[in-house]
Structure 1
């Protein structure tokens, strides 16, 4: 999470992104984030508070001239002109803008739902395959090696934006691979203006049940909802729904637990 000043700087840079929601821009921003994050001297030059914002933006443009598109350079220059809480937040912010650009490009192409669903399912696959999760988490392997592994598994099988984001997440994130992919799926839903309902169900939900649950939740929170459903037989029956910090426990196991608490 960003502190207040970094959130403001990110919002400022996002205005430059509004005119550049292209996949190429996203790819270039992810590359710039790696460059900036790995170069302390450059990072310092782009975040030096004593230097006027416009000059920091000029430094960014000079460094990136001929290496990225003008759209990507504009976004980085806008980011460099912000007041970040920490210098590392700048690299993280550029990265997040790259992810957003890729997701926006998918939305513009009509592929937003596909990318979100693929990221969620890929995260579940990793979580439910211990050998794969261990290989993707193995710090004895280089980040590039781990990223190459997930890339080989999904190449040509998912949307290109899904592939780019998944490979980047495995290479860059310090989270568990399944968690990083799940967070990306949530971000994808947010780009589309939807809230994510994390649902645990004792059994697979039918299309009709999914539709009714989504409509009921949308009516309750006043916002479009996308369901991310996991099967958990230990619930015995019913569902548990989490949206943000709120949880609704309608499972049989949850009702038994409530009865037991009432008997104490």
Structure 2
């Protein structure tokens, strides 16, 4: 997002944080209602355009949103959406993207409130690895002819009782409403949101053998010093790296694996 949309999203996040700081507000329920509004506006293009039309008065748009949503979702959700449509958005679709992000953030907040956020981060990462290793599963979850109910049932069998409820909800929403994104991009976005709940970054660490607890602590501390922020480590084991580790933080890769050194040696010899 750029310009006005970025400012509107930041303001919406502040409103969401103020709501979820209140212990009487059910963050998981709020997430479900925001997800329902996201689906509605993603589907109803004409309504979305009216609610983001800069030529319309903000209060008029808020009243329309209240009429459409009143009785369908709770008062907190209605108030949050009314505040969002009062703001200016660079593109109408930015409002839907923002609502989806707030829905996911509310679910992650629910996990944080119950002390399950670390588990959710790890489970999202592991699900991504499972998806990458199984073309059959990926095909089933991205099959456009399969119904959302069928995909939800498949995910329930995979995750139900084995992962946090928040993880299952996030993955089901992503799979059944991908909104033009790949599953990989959606999972990465969720991981970044989860890390952001504690103002920390995500490092994907690949090693030939599992790291010990002491090694993980030293690596996490070193990366935190390097980047100036707490670091969440997503760990994966790949025997093909032979030894050493590879660390990816965003687009930056720190590669200290033996296989990479051998490849570099081969390139130098060939050159």
TM-score of the superposed pair, with normalisation by structure 1: 0.92
- How far apart in 2 are the matches of 1:10 and 1:200? 34
SS at match of 2:19: coil
1:57-101 deviations in Å (ceiling 9; x for gaps): 221112111111111112111211121121111111111111111
SS at match of 2:247: strand
Residue in 2 aligned with 1:17? 16
Contact 1:14–1:75, Cα closer than 8 Å, also in 2:
no
SS at match of 1:20: helix
- How far apart in 2 are the matches of 1:38 and 1:206? 48
Please point out which of 95, 104, 110 is paired with 1:105: 110
Superposition misfits of 4+ residues, deviation over 6 angstroms: none
- How far apart in 2 are the matches of 1:234 and 1:16? 47
Number of corresponding residues: 263
Residue in 2 aligned with 1:248? 254
- How far apart in 2 are the matches of 1:248 and 1:139? 38
- My pick for the range that moved more, 37-46 or 177-186, is 177-186
Deviation at 1:206, TM superposition (A): 2.2
Unaligned residue ranges in structure 1 (runs of 5+): none
Residue in 1 aligned with 2:5? 6
- Within-5 A mapping of 1:26-37: 26-37=31-42
- How far apart in 2 are the matches of 1:99 and 1:209? 32
* CA-atom RMSD in angstroms: 1.8
SS at match of 1:185: helix
Residue in 1 aligned with 2:120? 115
1:177-226 deviations in Å (ceiling 9; x for gaps): 34433432232112221100011222222222222211111122121101
Please point out which of 183, 203, 207 is paired with 1:197: 203
TM-score of the superposed pair, with normalisation by structure 2: 0.90
Contact 1:123–1:179, Cα closer than 8 Å, also in 2:
no
SS at match of 1:13: helix
Please point out which of 80, 87, 95 is paired with 1:90: 95
Please point out which of 187, 190, 196 is paired with 2:193: 187
